[in-house]
Amino acid sequence: MIKKLQKRKIIALFPLFLCFAMAGEKIAVVTKIIGKAEYVREEKSPKNLKRGFVVENGDEILTKAGAFVALVFIDDRSALKIREKSEVVINGKKNVNRISKKIDLNNGTIRAQVKTNRNFLVQTSVSVASVKGTDFWVISNDKVGDSIIGLEGLVTLSNRISGEKIDIKPGITGISSNDGSLQAFKSDPKNTPRDLIQSDGQDKKLEIIFKDSAGKQKKLIIDYK
């Protein structure tokens, strides 16, 4: 009998242990901060966020007016950029060689630049954006719903209320409303948020000089936005 009780306790407490075990997992690093931002860990009072802060599973990041935070995940260099007045909970579960990421966007605007097209999910109270592509903005407004602006690749946007799904391609904006509706239309560049750590949409060029097996110097030029 006692053994049974202990067993039940263990079973009951297992998720808690799991939470503790996962809560401590370091999954990302804050690489840039503009303005004021805070983090909340284990429901303690908010603390100032600083560059170099190591984000653990379950950390919540809050950005103030005019603020901007960029963080990079340590498994694949996927980046998450958080604009002002946003509330984001960063969840990640470490597997053998990757981290399954789930971003809970309670309010605000984020940009996700995903390096591997698996295991990256952005969730709001209204919508779920599962990533099949690489680059998109999520603007969450708890009053009206969410906007997903596709920049590259493909994002599947689901409305949690109606269960409807829609694929967002580059140049398309998806609107997921509180009433369960989903709409897609061509993106208006004026409505695309500005990435504060990237020059204004200009193409950038990265040149890497290397030598081939014959010792000849060659230049690899990577054009990116």
Rounded least distance, CB 217 to other proteins, Å: 7
Rounded least distance, CB 5 to other proteins, Å: 36
Rounded least distance, CB 61 to other proteins, Å: 17
Rounded least distance, CB 14 to other proteins, Å: 23
Nearer to other proteins, 143 or 205 (CB): 205
Nearer to other proteins, 1 or 206 (CB): 206
Q: How far is 150 from 172, CA to CA, in rounded Å?
A: 6
Rounded to 5°, angle at Cα 85 from 32 and 37: 40
Tell me if 100 sits within 8 A of 85, measured CB to CB.
no
Rounded least distance, CB 158 to other proteins, Å: 29
Nearer to other proteins, 43 or 200 (CB): 200
Q: What residues contact residue 136 under an 8 Å CB cut-off, 6+ apart? A: 111, 112, 129, 148, 149, 150, 151, 152, 153, 155, 168
Q: How far is 23 from 36, CA to CA, in rounded Å?
A: 24
Q: Which residue has the tokens 């010792």?
A: 215
Q: Which contacts qualify for 180-185: CB closer than 8 Å, 24 or more apart?
A: 182/157
Nearer to other proteins, 45 or 217 (CB): 217
Residues forming contacts to other proteins in the complex (CB under 8 A) are 26, 29, 31-32, 51-52, 54, 72, 74-77, 97, 99, 199-200, 202, 205-208, 211, 213-217
Tell me if 152 sits within 8 A of 170, measured CB to CB.
yes
Nearer to other proteins, 45 or 213 (CB): 213
